Amino acid sequence: MLWLLTALFRWLGSFLRSRHNLALEIIALRQQLVVLRRTRRPRLQPSDRLFWVLLRRVWPQWTKSLLIVKPETVIGWHRQAFRLYWRFRSRSKKVGRPTTSDEIRTIVAKMADENPTWGAPRIHGELLKLGVQVSERTVSRYLCRLRRNGSGGQRWRTFLKNHQDAITGMDFFTVITLNFRILYCLFLIRHDHRQILHFNCTEHPTQVWIVQQLREALPGDADKQYVLFDRDAKFSAAVLNFLDSCGIAPVRTSYQSPWQNGIAERWVRSFRYELLDRVIVLDERHLRRIGQDYIRYYHHDRTHDGLDKDTPIPRSLVRKNDGEQIESVPRLKGLHHRYYWAKAA
């Protein structure tokens, strides 16, 4: 009797729905019926998986008509397709760069030992004058090995500690959309309070676009301020000139040393693990919207070990009163929650 009443109410509710939703629901149910008629035990083919991936993009209520698999399975298909796509894009095309001869290593070690203040650019320039063809990056890597036991790492940590309230970290990271477009996300984060000063994404990160983002995020006259970023080619001379005109000192990290901008790298990890690993990005507008939602959660709700378990925008301590119970408020569509004390109903 109960199932008959449920079917009756569903039939009456169908008159209140739009023809577009009804048509999509009929298509989804018929597709699943074809799968069930194919064999006794339903086995999905690649075309079936592609159908549900595309239907998820055009129909927000696709989960209500999905019966033979779970919504998490559809998201897993998209991740698997992304891994195959990225594996294809990252396939090896070269055997590798030629090894550096022992003679060049000896010359670099001699110059570094006799000139302690010389860095990789200075030694590289001297090598070019001697007719030695080697890249500056190779010299920098070898210098890191030679000075591994020196005080260079400690000097960098001392710089970060002494200027923590004046350093802004800047970095790029990539996000793959549903149709495998690559979006480049630029963000700036304060080292002292872990606050995100700016966040935006684009498919074509030109130097004009980067300068515009810096113009929106940074003040026009900032004395004794530093912007820390890696050696990405997108941070070109135009970016350096703009920072100099604002009175901000640009500081580049060493080659293959992400720990020197560890706060920015750690935020990328949090952003991926707490948001991007659980949603499928549709396009730039979708990524920009969920990114702003995560930043609001990150500033007001998420506690940090580096801030003594406080939030970037400090939260006040709320103590329990008599008769109150713990309650939660969903954040990011239920991915995370914030808790507070409230009176029992």
Lowest mean pLDDT among 24-28, 117-121, 200-204, 303-307: 24-28
Query: How confident is residue 187, by pLDDT bands cut at 50, 70 and 90?
Result: very high
Query: How confident is residue 74, by pLDDT bands cut at 50, 70 and 90?
Result: confident
Q: How many domains does the chain have?
A: 4
Looking at 231-310, list the stretches that DSSP marks H as alpha helix, in order from N- to C-terminal side.
237-245, 262-274, 284-300
**HSE on the CB side for 228, CA within 13 Å?**
24
Is the predicted pLDDT of residue 4 greater than 70, yes or no? no
Q: How high does pLDDT run on average in the chain? A: 81
Q: Is residue 139 a part of any domain in this protein? A: yes
Nearest one of 55, 59, 39 to 47, comparing CA atoms = 55
pTM of the predicted model over 0.75:
no
Domain containing 340: what range? 315-345
- The count of other CB atoms within 10 Å of the CB of residue 316 is 4
Tokens found for residue 65: 């008509």
The predicted pLDDT at position 223 comes to 66
Q: Is residue 41 a part of any domain in this protein? A: yes
Is the predicted pLDDT of residue 137 greater than 70, yes or no? yes
Percentage of residues in the chain having pLDDT higher than 70: 80
Nearest one of 223, 262, 258 to 244, comparing CA atoms = 223
What Cα–Cα distance (Å) separates residue 174 from each residue in 5, 18, 123, 243, 270?
50, 38, 34, 24, 14
Q: Is residue 2 a part of any domain in this protein? A: no
Instruction: Calculate mean pLDDT across residues 39-63.
Output: 70
For residue 208, the surrounding DSSP H or E stretch is: helix 207-217
Based on the fold, state whether residues 68 and 115 are members of the same structural domain.
no
Is the predicted pLDDT of residue 156 greater than 80, yes or no? no
Based on the fold, state whether residues 234 and 287 are members of the same structural domain.
yes
Based on the fold, state whether residues 135 and 111 are members of the same structural domain.
yes
**HSE on the CB side for 29, CA within 13 Å?**
9
Based on the fold, state whether residues 205 and 284 are members of the same structural domain.
yes
Q: Which residues pair with 201 in a beta bridge?
A: 185
Percentage of residues in the chain having pLDDT higher than 90: 28
